[in-house]
């Protein structure tokens, strides 16, 4: 049985097919041009494949409300030409079940099936990059709530030595405003490569402090069995021990949990699916509706 997947990103679409075990059999990439061009390329590919279902993990904002007239749409994105694009509708002629969700929800699901949180029913996946997003798996299901979680805009306490005002256009100094890639680069006047700062630079302490607060809030709210941190900023592996130590410190002994007290190294972890997380995220969405 073949499952199709589309990782719809702002700069490229990654798409392909896999079997039920998440083994990717074909993987293709095309640039995100005007919708009529990109969507036709991807549609033509799947029209030539005998897939049983299709999963789409998309950049946002998107409409996930199945009762809405614009379900399956990319809605108010600043990306030129893509406002109000009917993404799901572009594939309806395939006449197969189509699952549609945010890219980060897909990645969270894929990690819980084949990746770092496999076998666990409650986990959280957070990506720290151009933006900060999070997907929550609770009792084996993706949490949507009214819209979908917006972990990136969590409000946080500012480090006593940090006088940066933040970059979020809505809140300025929310988590994304203080800890995303663009925030980091602006705060330290970098041109886009975080590696320019040595590991002992206080920038990493600030970064770890903000991310650790988000994790503490997530732990206290959701009690996940594992937290996975991915995205470009988390390629700085030395952040992991800093974040773990800061989480333990911020919890101040409040939680009497083995996971926190003795197994923090295996509690806050890297993703396992690597470069295929986005495509496998989409495929896991497709697998989920078979």
Stretch that binds Zn ion, among 66-74, 132-140, 153-161, 235-243 (CB under 5 A): 153-161
Cα separation, 189 vs 199, whole angstroms: 17
The yes or no reply on residue 151 touching Zn ion (CB under 5 A) is: no
**CA-to-CA dists, residue 205 to 47, 125, 176, 287, angstroms:** 50, 21, 16, 40
The yes or no reply on residue 171 touching Zn ion (CB under 5 A) is: yes
Q: Out of 168, 218, 277, 285, which residue is the one contacting Zn ion (CB under 5 A)?
A: 168
**CA-to-CA dists, residue 42 to 30, 32, 48, 84, angstroms:** 8, 11, 10, 18
Stretch that binds Zn ion, among 17-25, 115-123, 166-174, 277-285 (CB under 5 A): 166-174
Q: Which is nearer to Zn ion, 112 or 180 (CB)?
A: 180
The yes or no reply on residue 174 touching Zn ion (CB under 5 A) is: yes
Q: Out of 170, 193, 237, 252, which residue is the one contacting Zn ion (CB under 5 A)?
A: 170
Cα separation, 201 vs 191, whole angstroms: 17
* CB 181 to Zn ion: min, Å: 14
Closest CA to 19 of 37, 4, 39: 4
Q: Which is nearer to Zn ion, 14 or 178 (CB)?
A: 178
Stretch that binds Zn ion, among 39-47, 106-114, 116-124, 150-158 (CB under 5 A): 150-158
Alpha helices by DSSP H, listed for the chain, are 35-47, 103-114, 175-179, 181-187, 202-222, 239-251, 258-261, 264-267, 277-288
| Interacting residues with Zn ion between 17 and 76 (CB under 5 A) | none
Q: Which is nearer to Zn ion, 148 or 244 (CB)?
A: 148
Supply angle C-alpha 108, 87, 105, rounded to 5: 10
The yes or no reply on residue 169 touching Zn ion (CB under 5 A) is: no
Backbone phi, psi, residue 286, to 5°: -65, -40
* CB 216 to Zn ion: min, Å: 18
- Contact footprint for Zn ion (CB under 5 A): 153, 168, 170-171, 174
């Amino acid at each position: 049985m073949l499952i199709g997947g589309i990782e719809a990103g702002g700069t490229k679409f990654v798409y392909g097919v896999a079997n039920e075990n998440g083994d990717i059999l074909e993987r293709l990439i095309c640039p995100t041009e005007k919708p009529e061009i990109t969507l036709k390329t991807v549609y033509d590919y799947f029209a030539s494949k005998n897939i049983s279902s299709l999963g789409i993990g998309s950049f946002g904002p998107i409409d996930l409300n199945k009762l809405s007239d614009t379900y399956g749409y990319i809605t108010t994105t600043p990306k030129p030409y893509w406002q109000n694009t009917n993404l799901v509708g572009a594939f309806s002629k395939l006449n197969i079940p189509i699952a549609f969700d945010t890219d980060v929800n897909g990645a969270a699901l894929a990690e819980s099936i084949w990746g770092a949180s496999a076998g666990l029913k409650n986990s959280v996946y957070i990506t720290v990059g151009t933006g900060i997003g999070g997907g929550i798996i609770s009792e084996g299901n993706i949490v949507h709530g009214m819209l979908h979680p917006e972990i990136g805009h969590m409000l946080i306490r500012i480090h006593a030595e940090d006088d940066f005002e933040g970059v979020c256009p809505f809140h300025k100094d929310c988590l994304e405003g203080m800890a995303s890639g663009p925030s980091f680069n602006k705060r330290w006047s970098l041109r886009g490569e975080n590696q320019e700062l040595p590991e002992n630079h206080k920038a990493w302490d600030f970064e770890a402090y903000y991310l650790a607060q988000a994790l503490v809030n997530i732990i206290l709210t959701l009690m996940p069995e594992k937290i996975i941190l991915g995205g470009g900023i988390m390629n700085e592996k030395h952040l992991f021990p800093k974040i773990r130590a800061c989480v333990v410190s911020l919890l101040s002994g409040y939680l009497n949990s083995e996971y926190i007290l003795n197994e923090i190294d295996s509690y806050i972890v890297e993703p396992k699916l690597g470069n295929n997380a986005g495509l496998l995220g989409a495929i896991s969405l497709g697998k989920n509706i078979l």
